[in-house]
Amino acid sequence: MKIQAINGFKDILPDTAVRWRHIEQRARDIFERFGMREIRLPIMEKTELFVRSIGEATDVVEKEMYTFVDKGQTMRPEATASIMRAFIEHGLHVQQPVQRLYTIGPMFRHERPQKGRLRQFHQLDAEIIGAVEARVDAELIAMGQMLLDELGLAVSLEINSLGCPVCRPPFKAGLVAFLEQRHEGLCEDCKRRTHTNPLRVLDCKKPTCRALVENAPSLLDALCPDCNRHFREVQEALQSLDIAFKINPFMVRGLDYYTRTTFEFLTSDLGAQAAVGAGGRYDGLIEQLGGPALSGIGFAMGLERIALLMEQQSDKPQPGDSMDIFLAALGDKTLAPCGQLAHLLRKQGLRAAIDYSGRGLKAQLKQAGRVNARFTLIVGDDEWDRQQGILRNMATQEQQPFDLGGTPEQQSLRLLGLVQPTTN
């Protein structure tokens, strides 16, 4: 019996891994242009951290966490809470009042596996802690947009404001009253949510619930003057950065800790409309976790979804593995010197492949094609005796003689001059 991977847990095979690395490299590059610094976190935390930050009555905490009940430990379902925990534990705000942090890695949720949604999934997560200004919200959103733009992805941006502890409670009370009057028409989840987490009813995906909440009171009409001004400033700042957006008053996000600005980058190219990335402001979270009264804003983007979308939307060739040179050693005499040459080329930074099987030219050229070699150096026993190999450009199929005279070092340097390493 063969052993297979667990449902919802997936191998990232080399062809996909190379694309993921491309996305991650772009993300690091762009995040660092915005002054973000990397933080690496454990994947296991005390369960209490997620209960206190994400909220007890959320889907994530209620039914999706991988928890070792006897140990009180949970595999992280998202990264923000862990970043906050680390931020507080190490007193990062003492060194620098505004911290810009990002992390990349796996998260775990026990959801029904479907296309682009796994139980172990991977996120790019960015957080700016300690800044209250609306311009910071816009800057963070602009950073996410820049990444998606540079990856060549077309997405739409939606924003909303969830208010604050001043204006949200009275709005919630009004919403509950509205929902209670329509109780019978709601789905089972929403009937329950009416009292545990009424805002979630607003973004229920079931058509019957959608129709019912169409005329529900809007939080945007209930914002206090401060929240109103903040939301207006976010919009003005986005406009000044040429970022297109739509306001969606029904977007509430699944986590309790959000305040004021929330946003989603959406696509309809992955089946039903799906968020490629999403985030928001969480002004009370750090204090709620026992830290200083600092505000924060962040987002998470799904690596799986970005990679899927790139496959689907991009007309550009996908980034792939390639070798700079393939050494086709065709005779007994040539195996040892070609092996030595490959080693020296690798020392000089070239990606060099070699086949030691002694197979014929045709088979070796086929292999060179399989590994995506840009050049192939062909050296048979005859060529070795004449000290002249053949260098073939695999794209243009042009061939030129290559001088095999001198020491292996001299040969490798001459080759380096002709081939040039690729920067990936």
CB of 197 to Zn ion, least distance (A): 12
CB of 12 to Zn ion, least distance (A): 34
Sign of CA dihedral 100, 106, 111, 116: positive
With CB under 5 A as the contact rule, the residue among 33, 195, 206, 232 that binds Zn ion is 206
Q: Which two tokens stand for residue 121?
A: 């999934």
Instruction: Classify burial at 293, counting beta carbons within 10 Å of its beta carbon; exposed 0-12, middle 13-18, buried 19 or more.
Output: exposed
With CB under 5 A as the contact rule, the residue among 163, 284, 296, 389 that binds Zn ion is 163
Q: 369 by DSSP, 3-state: which?
A: helix
Interstrand relation of 156-161 and 37-38 (parallel, antiparallel or unpaired): unpaired
CB of 193 to Zn ion, least distance (A): 7
Q: Which stretch binds Zn ion (CB under 5 A): 123-131, 170-178, 180-188, 233-241?
A: 180-188
Interface with Zn ion in residues 297-356 (CB under 5 A): none
In the complex with Zn ion, the residue whose CB is nearer, 205 or 316, is 205
| 224 interacts with Zn ion by CB under 5 A | yes
Q: Which stretch binds Zn ion (CB under 5 A): 66-74, 158-166, 343-351, 400-408?
A: 158-166
| The 373-379 sheet, strands edge to edge | 352-354, 323-329, 373-379, 388-393, 399-403
Interface with Zn ion in residues 229-248 (CB under 5 A): none
In the complex with Zn ion, the residue whose CB is nearer, 267 or 295, is 295
CB of 305 to Zn ion, least distance (A): 24
Residue 119 is given by DSSP the state S
Residue type, 416: L
CB of 253 to Zn ion, least distance (A): 16
Rounded CA separation 140/241 (Å): 11
CB of 201 to Zn ion, least distance (A): 6
| 227 interacts with Zn ion by CB under 5 A | yes
With CB under 5 A as the contact rule, the residue among 155, 190, 325, 368 that binds Zn ion is 190
CB of 98 to Zn ion, least distance (A): 22
Q: Which two tokens stand for residue 169?
A: 């409670």
CA-based nearest residue to 145, from 17, 215, 287, 244: 244
Q: Which stretch binds Zn ion (CB under 5 A): 41-49, 198-206, 318-326, 403-411?
A: 198-206
| 204 interacts with Zn ion by CB under 5 A | yes
Rounded CA separation 137/159 (Å): 11
In the complex with Zn ion, the residue whose CB is nearer, 283 or 355, is 283
Residues in the chain: 424
Instruction: Classify burial at 198, counting beta carbons within 10 Å of its beta carbon; exposed 0-12, middle 13-18, buried 19 or more.
Output: buried
| 164 interacts with Zn ion by CB under 5 A | yes
In the complex with Zn ion, the residue whose CB is nearer, 204 or 368, is 204
CB crowding 131-155: b at 16 or more within 10 Å, else e: beebbbbbbbbbbbbbbbeebebeb
Number of shown-chain residues binding Zn ion (CB under 5 A): 11
| 167 interacts with Zn ion by CB under 5 A | yes
Interstrand relation of 156-161 and 99-108 (parallel, antiparallel or unpaired): unpaired
CA-based nearest residue to 124, from 270, 23, 12: 23
CB of 136 to Zn ion, least distance (A): 17
Q: Which stretch binds Zn ion (CB under 5 A): 95-103, 224-232, 234-242, 324-332?
A: 224-232
In the complex with Zn ion, the residue whose CB is nearer, 209 or 308, is 209
| 252 interacts with Zn ion by CB under 5 A | no
| The 296-302 sheet, strands edge to edge | 37-38, 99-108, 120-129, 296-302, 274-281, 259-267, 156-161, 246-247
Region at 273 (left for phi over 0; alpha for psi -120 to 50; beta for the rest): beta
| 162 interacts with Zn ion by CB under 5 A | no
Residue entry with tokens 């095979």: 13
CB of 190 to Zn ion, least distance (A): 3
With CB under 5 A as the contact rule, the residue among 17, 154, 166, 173 that binds Zn ion is 166
Rounded CA separation 98/96 (Å): 6
| 209 interacts with Zn ion by CB under 5 A | yes
CB of 199 to Zn ion, least distance (A): 12
Q: Which stretch binds Zn ion (CB under 5 A): 9-17, 120-128, 154-162, 202-210?
A: 202-210
CB of 189 to Zn ion, least distance (A): 5
Binding site for Zn ion (CB under 5 A): 163-164, 166-167, 187, 190, 204, 206, 209, 224, 227
